[in-house]
């Protein structure tokens, strides 16, 4: 893991998440059901300007939300899932460095996170 990852439940309680190979490629994925993943990029030596998070959401469009913030906590962008039950990439780009991001989900498998 090249950045810090933590998770909380929807109401600030413990998140329900576990490893599961949801796309059957032999590599364990992270199933969030439900929870909020928090990615902290402040320890990275390079600026983060783009996030590509590959997911499968089992809840409807708009229910899985990726949000990015700068170091002061100002929102930089927000993108959500558009399909249910199929693989898609949540892509978020910013003109200023992304300090941290959250992924809020009810029933979503996180297959890959690429930080650029």
Nearer to Ca ion, 48 or 56 (CB): 56
- Contacts of the segment 28-32: beta carbons below 8 A, 24+ positions apart: 29/109, 29/110, 29/111, 30/109, 30/110, 31/108, 31/109, 31/110, 32/7, 32/103, 32/105, 32/107, 32/108, 32/109, 32/110
* Nearer residue to Ca ion within complex by CB, 55 or 68: 55
Q: Least distance from C-beta 19 to Ca ion, angstroms?
A: 10
Q: How far is the CB of 46 from Ca ion (least distance, A)?
A: 27
Q: What distance lies between CA 1 and its chain's CA centroid?
A: 14
Binding site for Ca ion (CB under 5 A): 21, 23, 25, 27, 29
Query: Whole-number minimum distance, CB 68 to Ca ion, in Å?
Result: 24
For Ca ion, the closer of residues 27 and 96 by Cβ is 27
């Amino acid at each position: 893991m090249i950045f810090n990852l933590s998770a909380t439940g929807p109401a600030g309680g413990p998140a329900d998440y576990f490893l599961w190979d949801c796309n059957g490629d032999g590599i364990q994925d992270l199933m969030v059901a439900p929870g909020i993943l928090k990615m902290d990029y402040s320890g990275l030596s390079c600026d983060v300007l783009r996030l590509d998070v590959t997911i499968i959401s089992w809840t409807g469009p708009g229910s899985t939300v990726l949000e990015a913030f700068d170091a002061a906590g100002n929102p930089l962008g927000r993108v959500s899932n558009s399909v249910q039950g199929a693989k898609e990439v949540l892509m978020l780009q910013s003109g200023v460095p992304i300090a941290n991001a959250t992924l809020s989900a009810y029933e979503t498998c996180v297959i890959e996170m690429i930080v650029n």
